[in-house]
Amino acid sequence: MKAATLVVVVAAGACMTLINPVKIQRAPGAPVLEARDDGCSVEIVDDGTPFTKPHQELGTIVLEWSATQMKDQGPEAALKTLRAAACEAGAHVVLQMRALPRGPNEGMVFDGTLAVLLDDKGQPLVGKATGTALSHGGTQPAAGSAP
């Protein structure tokens, strides 16, 4: 029964990023972590805001949100999509978050830096590392998103 539940949860999370593909560029040598539970807590830290908790950067995250999506769903839905993708990447926080207009009536680009919080030994707080960015390639869509 657990396996069936897991498939449903993974499929639900994948749906969010399939409709709204998020691009993740992994930092060289950064750990590739197992996905966190769908709906996990992800802190968003605006660009220019200091972040002092011990962390390791995993790479960058980018979401292009069309003018139609901005009008119909608003920026809150874009942040929800970013948080879902960050959970899939095993991240706890999106640092240096910026929302930049693409042009008049062309939507927005949301970008930031994914990071995982570290324990007092310098290890990720949660999530098992499955390799490094070097072993998994560089640019890749978030899990479940369209290529």
Q: Convert the pLDDT of each residue in 3-52 to its tens digit.
A: 433 333 333 334 444 455 899 999 999 988 999 988 899 999 999 999 99
> Closest Cα partner for 130 from 28, 36, 58, 33?
33
Helix, strand, coil percentages, rounded to 5, for the chain? 30, 35, 35
- 81 phi, psi to nearest 5 deg: -65, -45
Integer Cα distance of 5 and 137 in angstroms: 30
DSSP-derived 3-state class of residue 43:
strand
The tokens describing 69, both together, are: 């999506």
pTM as predicted: 0.73
